[in-house]
Amino acid sequence: MDLYEHQGKELFRAHGIVTPRGIVAETAEQAADATRELGGRSVVKVQVQVGGRGKGGGVVLVDSPERAAEEAARMLGSDFKGHQVTQVLVEELLPIALEFYTSMLLDRSTGDYLAMMTAEGGMDIEELARTRPDALRRVHVDAMLGMRAFHVRELVGTLPTDAREGAADVLRRMYELVQERDATLVEVNPLVQLDDGSVVALDAKVTIDDNALFRHPDVEAYAGAFPIDPVQARANEEGLQYVKLDGNVGIIGNGAGLVMSTLDVVAQAGARAANFLDVGGGASADQMATSLEVVLSDPAVKAVLVNIFGGITRCDLVAQGVLGALERVEATVPLVVRLDGTNADEGRAILDEAAHPRIVAAATMQEAAEQAAALANGPAA
């Protein structure tokens, strides 16, 4: 679960990490009042679960309550990189001397935690890692060993001498947060040193492992502030294994491994998946119909790829489900269907006999991905 910045900062403060004073506003008037309370000047930030806010106009410094109201009015209710803005964070302006970057994340490739720090904060860290990797210090931390003094010394060694003690304290508290809250990512960009030498977390990006939320009811309660995507809500109601993504090819498959592979092949074909949807190993015709209804209800979807390998799932039932869905909902985009495995010939025969104008048959997974990508990236259907 990705937290809003202000929620992440609440966790920061609970673990002793210093942050700027901030007030959440849901209206322009509240943003103006917050700015007055903070001394008449502030920084107004959109609250969305995505990065790149500074470059996208989502972080603005204002010098009056009236300007704060104007910027909040512009942000609230807008769509920021596909995310609806329902809140802004109004924070005090601080006298910043230097900006750094630090993060701690679960590294699934090694089974430990990866901590990173650089003296060059407030910038695109991916670009820095690509162009000047030596500027970014990396330390792997074994969860059984924990964050040790030598880890901290290595990381803060890249910072100015007078900033190291404050940054070291932040690192230790970040690791405590990661461990106690089951976080998979804690990132501060920028971590700043003020004119008085103190170190403050100016930003907060926190991701909590969904599977551990039962241990953290206070964190789980944060989800009540997130806008509800109607497509995701429908999928949840139907009990589907669905994840909304930012592409334009709807994906339906049976089995998590097959669906993940389908996402990769679509990307290789030059398109991006709009979702992950696993109908399960024993998908019925009704489940397939419901899944198609959910995917087709997403306006971002320009083509759908149905990739089924029959085992427990019978391909003839899948074909019936596809046709059943098209009777219940109007398909305005093409459906590329690839069937293989149990009763695949029967399933393909059912689709051929129906001769539906929106259904495009594909013999292989690669062919299906290429057709779906071409259809999604071409002229509107």
State pTM to two decimals. 0.74
pLDDT tier at 256, thresholds 50, 70, 90? confident
pLDDT at 381 over 50: no
Phi, psi of 233 (to 5 degrees): -65, -40
In the numeric block, which tokens belong to residue 155?
């990381």
pLDDT tier at 21, thresholds 50, 70, 90? very high
Mean pLDDT of 192-217: 96
pLDDT at 281 over 70: no
pLDDT tier at 262, thresholds 50, 70, 90? very high
Query: Which conformational region is residue 362 in: left (phi greater than 0), alpha (psi within -120 to 50 degrees), or beta?
Result: beta
Phi, psi of 136 (to 5 degrees): -115, 115
End-to-end CA separation in angstroms for the chain: 35
Domains, in order of start, for the chain: 22-91 (3.30.1490.20), 96-224 (3.30.470.20), 230-375 (3.40.50.261)
The residues that are catalytic are 101, 187
pLDDT of amino acid 380? 46
Choose the weakest-confidence range: 150-154, 178-182, 230-234.
230-234
Q: Residues 6 or more apart from 283 whose CB is under 8 A from it?
A: 254, 291, 308, 313, 317, 318, 321
Q: pLDDT digit string (tens) for 36-95?
A: 999 999 999 999 988 888 888 999 999 999 999 999 999 998 988 878 899 999 999 999
Calpha distance 313→322 (Å, rounded): 14
Calpha distance 108→127 (Å, rounded): 22
